[in-house]
Amino acid sequence: MRLSRYFMPTLREAPADAQIVSHQLMLRAGLIRQEAAGIYAWLPLGLKVLKKIEEIVRQEMNRAGAVEILMPTLQLADLWRESGRYEDYGEEMLRIKDRHERDLLYGPTAEEVVTDIFRSYVKSYKDLPKNLYNIQWKFRDERRPRFGVMRGREFLMKDAYSFDIDEAAARRAYNRMFLAYLNVYSRLGLKAIPVRADTGPIGGDLSHEFIILAETGESQVFAHRDLVEMGAPGPDIDWDGDLQPLVEQRTRLYAASDEMHDEATYAALPEDKQMTARGIEVGHIFYFGTKYSAPMKANVTGPDGKDTPVQMGSYGVGVSRLVGAIIEASHDDGGIIWPDSVAPFGAAVLNLRAGDAGCDAVCEQAYKALSDAGIDPLYDDRDDRPGAKFAATDLVGIPWQLIVGPKGVADGVVELKRRSTGERQTLPLEAALKAII
């Protein structure tokens, strides 16, 4: 992409109402624009990051055996009347009437819709287990939308739903999601702590939240330090095998959100193993058995020939919230520092004297080589001051900067800067390209 043709409206200063650094940087770097309270347009750079996060979530869901579908944003109120949640859900639900006076709602979650899909097709234990997920916009009329996409009203969620014949099988489904989530966050460059959590309006009796540590987080967590430091399980696990040991290795270490916190148990941990901090909820998984399948009559026939309500769980990842969460975890005074896995562009080529034949030629060569290698470079070909180019490239957080100026071109070298460390090297173009590719 040539910057002269792109749309990257960066701002010198963040609007005063942006309180936390990720919100400020998302506005300044031109990732999002607020259209209404908690409702955002995604600009090109923000959309690219959002799509990359979405794709990582998708890959890890698929790896763990889940199957993607796409459910509508608008749902029939009648389905929610069947489950009994239509009245219970309260003010966060956006209720809508169509021209026939039918009650609709903009889905805040999709247990009812997916249960309706499931019950229409699946009748026997032989067709289980199943896990269906979608990555779709949700709406919750939050009382206090704030911190940009971190607490939006319209936001993108990955929500998966598991269906199993009995509790033991449902726990296996839960374990798969538990471990898949850790892999998702690790690929995003985040350290997420699984903490025991309250089930809230989703209901049920087994639940974990995934929290990343950040001072601006809205949750308080208490955890055993060994859990905080434990790595993700990695993709090479036997997804059909016994995952209980891997899950237990983590769940036997104390970790709780404030609602579930038990001070006595926590205080009994060795003092150097106690860790309490603020955090951001970036995912939440639930096992809730027959809470929806029983009232909605999603029954399956078991091996004994008897019909029973299917056992369910649901599993949410805050995809759009993660864009803000990653920035909270990875920035400096100059701006965003994207992890390579979600960076909107793999490298930036900075032409310090656009219009100079030598600089233009080297930049074009670099741009072509990086494009051919699939790095997806952003070429700053604008006629602008070097200082402005450096500041903009730092602000938007592209992992590599390949800097081409007239003096270097005369000497047969370019400069290569790594955004995360600030490290700069002067070297021939070929060597710089090799370092990036």
**What stretch of H or E contains 191?**
none
Shortest Cβ 316–Mg ion spacing (Å) = 7
The residues, any chain, with a CB within 8 Å of residue 21's CB and separated by 6 or more, are: 216, 327, 328, 331
Residue 28 interface partner, choices Mg ion, ligand ATP, none, CB cut-off 5-8 Å depending on type: none
Q: Does 281 bind ligand ATP (CB under 6 A)?
A: yes
Pairing assessment for the beta strands 274-289 and 311-318 based on DSSP bridges? antiparallel
Q: Does 233 bind ligand ATP (CB under 6 A)?
A: no
Contact 282/22 with Cβ under 8 angstroms?
Answer: no
Q: Does 153 bind Mg ion (CB under 5 A)?
A: no
Shortest Cβ 140–ligand ATP spacing (Å) = 5
Q: Which is nearer to ligand ATP, 200 or 406 (CB)?
A: 200
Residue 171 interface partner, choices Mg ion, ligand ATP, none, CB cut-off 5-8 Å depending on type: none
In a 10 Å sphere around its CB, with 0-12 CB exposed, 13-18 middle and 19+ buried, how is residue 216 labelled?
Answer: middle
Contact 18/10 with Cβ under 8 angstroms?
Answer: no
Q: Which is nearer to ligand ATP, 38 or 309 (CB)?
A: 38
> How far apart are alpha carbons 272 and 285 in whole angstroms?
29
**CA dist list (Å): 251 to 119, 194, 207, 209, 248:** 33, 8, 11, 12, 5
Binding mask 178-207 for ligand ATP (x = CB under 6 A): ----------------------x-------
Q: Which is nearer to Mg ion, 284 or 417 (CB)?
A: 284
Closest CA to 155 of 124, 112, 120, 109: 109
Q: Does 119 bind ligand ATP (CB under 6 A)?
A: no
Q: Report the residue from 103, 141, 142, 376 that binds ligand ATP according to the rule CB under 6 A.
A: 142
**CA dist list (Å): 166 to 106, 237, 368:** 32, 23, 56
Q: Which is nearer to ligand ATP, 48 or 284 (CB)?
A: 284
Instruction: State whether residue 72 is helix, strand or coil.
Output: coil
Cβ neighbours, 10 Å, residue 105: 20
Q: Does 321 bind Mg ion (CB under 5 A)?
A: no
Contact 306/190 with Cβ under 8 angstroms?
Answer: no
> How far apart are alpha carbons 210 and 145 in whole angstroms?
21
Binding mask 286-325 for ligand ATP (x = CB under 6 A): ------------------------------x-x-xx----
Shortest Cβ 409–Mg ion spacing (Å) = 54
Tell me which residue has its CB nearest to ligand ATP: 318
Q: Does 158 bind ligand ATP (CB under 6 A)?
A: no
Q: Which is nearer to ligand ATP, 149 or 348 (CB)?
A: 149
Shortest Cβ 220–Mg ion spacing (Å) = 12
| Residues found near Mg ion in the complex (CB under 5 A) | 281, 284
Which spans of this chain sit near ligand ATP (rule: CB under 6 A)? 140, 142, 151-152, 155, 157, 200, 281-284, 316, 318, 320-321
